[in-house]
């Protein structure tokens, strides 16, 4: 039996774009960090790669950089697929910030539809027109939410799948336990469901699958890769830090998010005594609520205790793959021993 057979999934219920991946994993979009180099490396490594459309920012009067990035990603992945028909790249996703202050949204939707982007990730607002734009070119939408009420609204507005952003996620995190959030959504939703928040190992990815998610959604560990657009000090701080070094604050963007404490201290603030801010201070007109928030105050999730060095993406995905198989094999052996001893599978109880 080849190694992969031990965890071959049945993914027939998923849309075609999400089937047959090497690992049930999506590299999440990260402001400033995710660009074509990271996305291409993630897709070639066999997981979905993604970037926020707002990261592609041209100087005034220049042609849209988003268009150039989509061309680069599409052509590079096509070349890879022709050269490696037995090991094709995973599809990529583009993240749209659906917030009223994002003045570029309409233009970016049009460009993504023209380039037939296969997976559209929407954040900060569920809108029918955005889902229609994705569907018009054969794409699917995954909408990120932090609770069951928002999850229901997103599906009512036509999203195809959900990203449950739980406690401990990097960037704008939710307050809820992943166990509570996924179980509440799975009680009524059988479509594509992704779990975001502090997944940084194959073991955690397997746990996401066990609780009911189809995929893990992972950001922070990819910051500490050579392909990420992050300063060396940011990458090293992720290697050196753990969950205790993450602070939750609304001060920087108006919405609760998780950040590296040492970066807050380096900016001259006391990470243990931060003021709060309200959502009306969110502004994406220049791409971020406050550029300083992401350039100097570094977003990060709680899972980084599993990140021990800066590597390339392929090395990180290989580690996750090894850990995922080993964790699955360990549990499968425990269950096999139980079944051999006469325990029921539970299916007919």
Ligand X SMILES: Cc1cc2nc3c(=O)[nH]c(=O)nc-3n(C[C@H](O)[C@H](O)[C@H](O)COP(=O)(O)O)c2cc1C
To the nearest whole angstrom, how small is the minimum distance from the Cβ of residue 79 to ligand X?
27
Which residue, 81 or 229, is less far from ligand X as judged by CB? 229
333: three-class secondary structure by DSSP: helix
Q: Return the C-alpha torsion angle 225, 296, 101, 194, nearest 10.
A: 30
> Strands 25-27 and 215-218: what pairing?
parallel
Query: For 113-150, b where at least 16 C-beta lie within 10 A, e where not — what string?
Result: bebebbbbbbbbbbbeebbebbeeeebbbbbbbbbbeb
Residue nearest to ligand X (CB): 301
Span near ligand X by CB under 6 A; candidates 82-90, 99-107, 111-119, 162-170: 162-170
Q: How far apart are CA 120 and CA 80, in angstroms?
A: 22
Burial class (CB in 10 A: 0-12, 13-18, 19+), 261: buried
Which residue, 77 or 297, is less far from ligand X as judged by CB? 297
Determine contact, residues 230/239, Cβ cutoff 8 Å.
no
Which listed residue (14, 26, 30, 70) binds ligand X by CB under 6 A? 30
Q: Find the length of the chain.
A: 349
To the nearest whole angstrom, how small is the minimum distance from the Cβ of residue 84 to ligand X?
28
Span near ligand X by CB under 6 A; candidates 153-161, 217-225, 269-277, 330-338: 217-225
Those residues with Cβ within 8 angstroms of residue 2's Cβ, 6 or more apart along the chain or in another chain? none
User: Which contiguous run of DSSP H or E holds residue 172?
Assistant: strand 171-172
Q: What DSSP character marks residue 10?
A: -
Per-residue binding letters, 40-59, with ligand X (x by CB under 6 A): ------------x-------
Span near ligand X by CB under 6 A; candidates 109-117, 125-133, 193-201, 237-245: 193-201
Paired residues of 196 in beta bridges: 165, 217
299 binds ligand X (CB under 6 A): yes
Task: Map the footprint of ligand X across residues 65-94, applying CB under 6 A.
Answer: none
Give the Cβ contact number of residue 91 at 10 Å. Answer: 20
Task: Map the footprint of ligand X across residues 164-183, applying CB under 6 A.
Answer: 165, 169-171
145 binds ligand X (CB under 6 A): no
198 binds ligand X (CB under 6 A): yes
Task: Map the footprint of ligand X across residues 256-285, applying CB under 6 A.
Answer: none
Which residue, 118 or 168, is less far from ligand X as judged by CB? 168
Which residue, 95 or 225, is less far from ligand X as judged by CB? 95
29 binds ligand X (CB under 6 A): yes
The count of residues interacting with ligand X (CB under 6 A) is 25
Site of interaction with ligand X (CB under 6 A) = 28-31, 33, 52, 95, 123, 144, 165, 169-171, 196-199, 217-220, 299-301, 303
């Amino acid at each position: 039996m080849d190694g992969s057979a031990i965890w071959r999934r049945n993914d027939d219920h998923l849309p075609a774009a999400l089937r047959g991946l090497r690992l049930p994993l999506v590299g999440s979009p990260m402001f400033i960090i995710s660009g074509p180099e990271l996305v291409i490396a993630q897709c070639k490594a066999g997981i979905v790669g993604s970037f926020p459309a707002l990261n592609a920012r041209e100087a005034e009067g220049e042609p849209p950089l988003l268009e150039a990035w989509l061309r680069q990603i599409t052509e590079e992945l096509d070349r890879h697929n022709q050269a490696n028909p037995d090991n094709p790249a995973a599809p990529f996703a583009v993240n749209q910030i659906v917030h009223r202050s994002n003045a570029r949204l309409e233009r970016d939707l049009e460009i993504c539809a023209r380039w037939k982007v296969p997976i559209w990730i929407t954040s900060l607002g569920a809108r029918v027109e955005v889902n229609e734009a994705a569907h018009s070119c054969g794409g699917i939408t995954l909408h990120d939410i932090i609770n069951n009420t928002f999850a229901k609204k997103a599906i009512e507005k036509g999203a195809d799948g959900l990203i449950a952003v739980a406690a401990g996620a990097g960037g704008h995190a939710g307050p809820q336990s992943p166990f509570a959030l996924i179980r509440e959504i799975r009680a009524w939703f059988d479509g594509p469901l992704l779990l975001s928040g502090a997944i940084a190992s194959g073991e955690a990815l397997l746990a996401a699958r066990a609780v009911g998610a189809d995929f893990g959604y992972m950001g922070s560990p990819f910051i500490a890769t050579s392909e990420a657009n992050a300063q060396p000090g940011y990458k090293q701080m992720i290697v050196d830090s753990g969950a205790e070094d993450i602070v939750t604050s609304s001060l920087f963007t108006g919405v609760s998010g998780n950040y590296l404490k040492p970066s807050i201290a380096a900016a001259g603030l006391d990470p243990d005594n931060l003021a709060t801010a309200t959502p009306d201070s969110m502004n994406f007109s220049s791409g971020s609520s406050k550029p300083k928030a992401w350039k100097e105050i570094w977003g990060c999730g709680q899972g980084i205790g599993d990140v021990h060095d800066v590597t390339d993406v392929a090395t990180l995905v290989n580690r996750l793959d090894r850990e995922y198989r080993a964790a699955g094999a360990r549990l499968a052996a425990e269950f096999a021993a139980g079944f051999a001893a006469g325990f029921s599978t539970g299916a007919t109880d």
